[in-house]
């Protein structure tokens, strides 16, 4: 299998962190240069019609895009350790937390970067300062909310690492581009980020 990714790209990092936490070996990682448009070539578009990464090439003519879908596939092929739940309730509960994280924290952080940073203009052709600011405000409000949730739980979805932690880490670390990181104003989120930094996921380069 080949996984197409790019340095500093948060959605592919969600998958490479998932691979690291599972201890999967043997997936070839191919890094594309997004600034040079390597993801917009006809050959790549044939695998990823929206010209997006991550893209997983299964090597038999089948491909997958969408970071969560790729993680679902890998969870099925490499079930241990489970990162998406062990039974029906856990799977639903982790999905609930993962969707909360993705839609309400990581996505706003990414939109803040895409619309707010001059360097991202190469990818975000319609940069809009108002969009950047409104996503910034949403992300900061939700960082406080997740901070409160983490007051009495070790990980985002409870007492075990799950994909929700990786989704959060991908978004939070991407915001370092704007020099934001959890600090003493969100002490539980900071404790969680420090703890994640010591794990295999935290060692994966941004």
Ligand X SMILES: N[C@@H](CCC(=O)N[C@@H](CS)C(=O)NCC(=O)O)C(=O)O
- The backbone torsions φ and ψ at residue 16, rounded to the nearest 5 degrees and listed phi first, read -65, -30
**DSSP character for 3?**
E
- Considering only 3, 9, 113, 189, the residue that binds ligand X (CB under 6 A) is 9
Q: Which of residues 19-38 bind ligand X (CB under 6 A)?
A: 34
CB neighbours of residue 40 within 10 Å: 12
- Considering only 2, 29, 47, 66, the residue that binds ligand X (CB under 6 A) is 66
Q: Give the pair of three-digit tokens for residue 145.
A: 């909310």
How far is residue 169's CA from residue 44's CA, in Å, rounded to a whole number?
27
CB of 191 to ligand X, least distance (A): 27
Write down the residue that tokens 């491909």 correspond to: 63
Q: With CB under 6 A as the contact rule, which of the stretches 16-24, 49-57, 176-184, 188-196 interacts with ligand X?
A: 49-57
Q: With CB under 6 A as the contact rule, which of the stretches 17-25, 47-55, 177-185, 188-196 interacts with ligand X?
A: 47-55
- Considering only 52, 135, 162, 186, the residue that binds ligand X (CB under 6 A) is 52
Tell me: does residue 55 bind ligand X (CB under 6 A).
no
Q: Which of residues 158-197 bind ligand X (CB under 6 A)?
A: none
Q: In this complex, which beta carbon is closest to ligand X, that of residue 86 or of residue 122?
A: 122
11's CB contacts (< 8 A; 6+ apart) are 52, 53, 54, 67, 170
How far is residue 127's CA from residue 121's CA, in Å, rounded to a whole number?
7
Are the CB atoms for 12 and 53 separated by under 8 Å?
yes
Q: With CB under 6 A as the contact rule, which of the stretches 52-60, 80-88, 133-141, 179-187 interacts with ligand X?
A: 52-60
Residues in touch with ligand X (CB under 6 A): 9-11, 34, 39, 51-54, 66-67, 123
């Amino acid at each position: 299998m080949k996984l197409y990714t790019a340095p500093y790209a948060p959605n592919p990092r969600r998958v490479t962190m998932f691979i690291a936490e599972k201890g999967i070996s043997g997936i070839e990682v191919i890094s594309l240069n997004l600034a040079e448009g390597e993801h917009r070539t006809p050959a790549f578009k044939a695998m990823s019609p929206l010209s997006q990464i991550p893209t997983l090439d299964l090597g038999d003519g089948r491909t997958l895009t969408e970071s969560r879908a790729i993680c679902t596939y890998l969870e099925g092929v490499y079930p241990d350790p489970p990162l998406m739940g062990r039974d029906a309730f856990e799977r639903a509960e982790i999905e609930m937390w993962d969707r909360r994280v993705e839609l309400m924290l990581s996505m706003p952080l990414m939109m803040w970067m895409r619309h707010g940073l001059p360097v991202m203009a190469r990818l975000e052709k319609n940069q809009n300062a108002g969009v950047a600011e409104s996503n910034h405000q949403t992300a900061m409000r939700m960082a406080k909310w997740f901070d409160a949730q983490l007051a009495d739980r070790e990980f985002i979805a409870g007492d075990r690492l799950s994909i929700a932690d990786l989704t959060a880490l991908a978004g939070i670390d991407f915001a370092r581009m704007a020099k934001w990181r959890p600090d003493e104003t969100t002490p539980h989120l900071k404790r969680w980020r420090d703890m994640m930094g010591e794990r295999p996921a935290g060692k994966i380069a941004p």
